[in-house]
Structure formats: structure tokens, C-alpha cells
């Protein structure tokens, strides 16, 4: 019997690999459980915040007074300083939603980023050490195609399961529970995209660390340390060097923009706004390149 192979070109194996990688979250109950868990957790948090904070009118009034103060032309110097430090001040009348949602986003970003670091770390490490990666590379797939498919599929899973679904539900709660809502769906979506950009960076960092060091402790410890202590560390270095550049170039500071992004007051012409966003994207691309370079010539 003659073996006949259909005349398909060697290709890069990207589409096959992408399908397989997306199946890992599409067909895994772990991801659906995560989506449900985040939805319930942050939904409860949002509901509690609205229930507890909305009646506290003095808090909202106080926030508005603070804003009125910093909006005063004589206080603009202070605003600029705060802005340069990454603490972009929202220029809106505070409502219950604009008070609560930034809190939810900030909490969710830190908690979800930690969970993703754990999940991706475990996933990469198992693939590398249990032989599935060996088998993958025995197929007609280039290591570049594998790296891209992995990055796209994992981040697509993160976007749908940990950003769009939970935060979609939270926004519905916001519409229902907040007495005043000045946040538009578009601004809300833009903030979710900004948060997602942060998650892409953490994914890239874990991937690069795993393939460069092959040590689980490092690929877990370094991202968690940077997530929790990166902000203070950048500010400390900025203080020592009398600059603001380190904070702006640090990808973990883009979360400081959530408040302004939610309120639609982000000035993209301001370097304190645009540099952290671009820096996060550039860091992520660089880290994916490092991961690919480490993988390209490595013995698996």
C-alpha cells in the first residue's frame, strides 16, 4: 500500500496550534469556573460598594470638593505633579459609580493578575516538563508559530473569561445599582482594554521567564514581586534619581490610569498618560520576542 500525503504545504503550523491552544480554555472547566468566580466575587464587591457607599453622600461631596480644589487654576501645579507621578486626577463630578468602579477595577486588576501569573506559570511549566511541548515540536510547527499562537490564544481566553464576562456583568450591576452614573459604556470598555493590556504584559513576562530560566520559582516570584512592589519601587527610584521617567516606563503603573479612563478624561496628549500605555505594549512585545528567541534554539 502506498502512503499518500495530501499536497499541503509545510506552512508554519500556526492555525493548528492556535486551535489547540484555544481549546485549552474553551474546553476546560477551570476557565469557566474562573469566569464565574470573578463575576460573583467582583459582582458582590460592586453591589456592596454601591449599597454601602451610595447613601454616604458626604463622601461623594468630599470627593467633589477635592476635585473643585485641584481644578482651581492656582492648584494646577499640584495637578501636574500628581499627574506626572502617575496619579492622574479625574476631572469629573464624582458620582457613586465613578467612585466605586475605579476601586473595583484596581482590586480586580491586582487579584486577577496574580491568578493569571499562577495559572500561566503552571501551564507553561507543565508543558515544558511533562513532554507535551516535545510532542508539539515533533509536528510541523515552527517555534515562532507556536509562540504567537500561544500568546494569542491565552490572551483571548483571558480577555473573554476574566475581562469581558465578569466586567460586563459588573457594568450591568452598575447601571442597576448606581444612583448616578456618569460612566459611558465606551469609557468602560476602554478601561477594560487598558486592564487587558496589563494582563498581556504579565503573560509575556511569565512566558519569557519560563523559557529563559526554566525555573518555576523565578517565573512565579519575579512577576508577583513586580505586581505587588513594582509601583513603590519605581517611585522610589524616581525619587532617588529626581525623575518621573522610571514610573512612566514601568508597565505596572498603567493601572493608575483606570480612574481617568473610566471618566473619559484621559488626555492622550499628556506624556504621563500615553507613555505608560505605550511602555506596557512595548514591554509585552519585547518579552514575547525574548521568549521566542529563548525557544528558537533550545533543546526541549
* Smallest separation, CB 136 to another protein (Å): 9
Closer Cβ to another protein, 145 or 197, answer by number: 145
* Smallest separation, CB 129 to another protein (Å): 9
CB distance 128 to 215 below 8 Å: no
- x/- string (CB under 8 A) for another protein, residues 207-226? --------------------
Q: Examine residue 137 and tell whether it contacts another protein (CB under 8 A).
A: yes
Q: For residues 203 and 280, what is the distance between their CA atoms, to the nearest angstrom? A: 12
- x/- string (CB under 8 A) for another protein, residues 82-121? ----------------------------------------
* Smallest separation, CB 182 to another protein (Å): 43
* Smallest separation, CB 119 to another protein (Å): 13
Q: Cα-atom radius of gyration of the chain, to the nearest Å?
A: 22
In the block, residue with C-alpha cell 515544558: 128
In the block, residue with C-alpha cell 500615553: 274
Q: Examine residue 232 and tell whether it contacts another protein (CB under 8 A).
A: no
Q: Which of residues 257-286 bind another protein (CB under 8 A)?
A: none
SS (H, E, C) 124-153: HHHHHHHCHHHHHHHCCCCHHHHHHHHHHH
Q: Which of residues 18-47 bind another protein (CB under 8 A)?
A: 19-20, 23-24, 27-28
One residue of 58, 73, 77, 138 binding another protein per CB under 8 A: 138
One residue of 70, 106, 165, 300 binding another protein per CB under 8 A: 300
Closer Cβ to another protein, 69 or 135, answer by number: 135
* Smallest separation, CB 286 to another protein (Å): 25
One residue of 68, 69, 80, 134 binding another protein per CB under 8 A: 134
Q: For residues 103 and 230, what is the distance between their CA atoms, to the nearest angstrom? A: 19
Q: Examine residue 139 and tell whether it contacts another protein (CB under 8 A).
A: yes
Interface residues toward another protein, by CB under 8 A? 1-6, 8, 10-11, 13, 16, 19-20, 23-24, 27-28, 130-132, 134-135, 137-142, 297, 299-300
Amino acid at each position: 500500500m502506498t502512503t499518500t500525503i495530501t499536497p499541503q504545504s509545510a506552512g508554519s503550523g500556526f492555525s493548528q496550534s492556535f486551535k489547540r491552544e484555544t481549546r485549552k480554555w474553551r474546553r476546560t472547566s477551570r476557565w469557566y469556573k474562573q469566569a464565574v468566580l470573578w463575576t460573583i466575587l467582583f459582582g458582590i464587591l460592586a453591589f456592596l460598594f454601591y449599597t454601602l457607599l451610595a447613601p454616604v453622600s458626604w463622601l461623594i461631596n468630599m470627593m467633589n470638593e477635592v476635585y473643585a480644589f485641584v481644578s482651581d487654576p492656582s492648584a494646577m501645579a499640584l495637578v501636574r505633579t500628581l499627574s506626572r507621578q502617575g496619579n492622574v486626577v479625574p476631572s469629573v463630578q464624582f458620582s457613586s459609580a465613578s467612585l466605586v468602579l475605579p476601586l473595583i477595577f484596581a482590586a480586580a486588576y491586582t487579584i486577577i493578575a496574580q491568578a493569571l501569573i499562577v495559572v500561566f506559570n503552571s501551564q507553561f511549566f507543565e508543558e515544558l516538563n511533562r513532554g507535551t511541548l516535545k510532542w508539539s515540536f515533533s509536528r510541523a510547527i515552527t517555534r515562532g508559530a507556536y509562540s504567537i499562537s500561544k500568546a494569542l490564544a491565552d490572551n483571548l481566553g483571558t480577555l473573554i473569561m476574566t475581562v469581558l464576562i465578569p466586567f460586563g456583568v459588573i457594568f450591568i450591576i452598575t447601571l442597576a445599582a448606581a444612583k448616578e452614573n456618569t460612566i459611558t459604556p465606551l469609557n468602560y470598555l476602554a478601561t477594560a482594554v487598558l486592564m487587558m493590556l496589563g494582563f498581556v504584559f504579565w503573560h509575556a513576562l511569565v512566558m519569557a521567564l519560563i523559557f529563559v530560566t526554566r525555573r518555576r520559582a523565578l517565573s512565579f516570584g519575579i512577576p508577583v514581586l513586580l505586581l505587588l512592589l513594582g509601583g513603590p519601587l519605581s517611585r522610589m527610584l524616581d525619587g532617588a534619581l529626581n525623575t518621573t521617567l522610571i514610573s512612566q516606563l514601568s508597565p505596572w503603573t498603567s493601572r493608575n490610569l483606570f480612574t481617568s479612563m473610566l471618566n473619559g478624561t484621559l488626555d492622550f496628549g499628556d506624556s504621563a498618560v500615553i507613555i505608560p500605555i505605550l511602555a506596557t505594549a512595548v514591554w509585552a512585545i519585547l518579552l514575547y520576542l525574548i521568549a521566542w528567541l529563548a525557544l528558537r534554539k533550545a533543546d526541549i
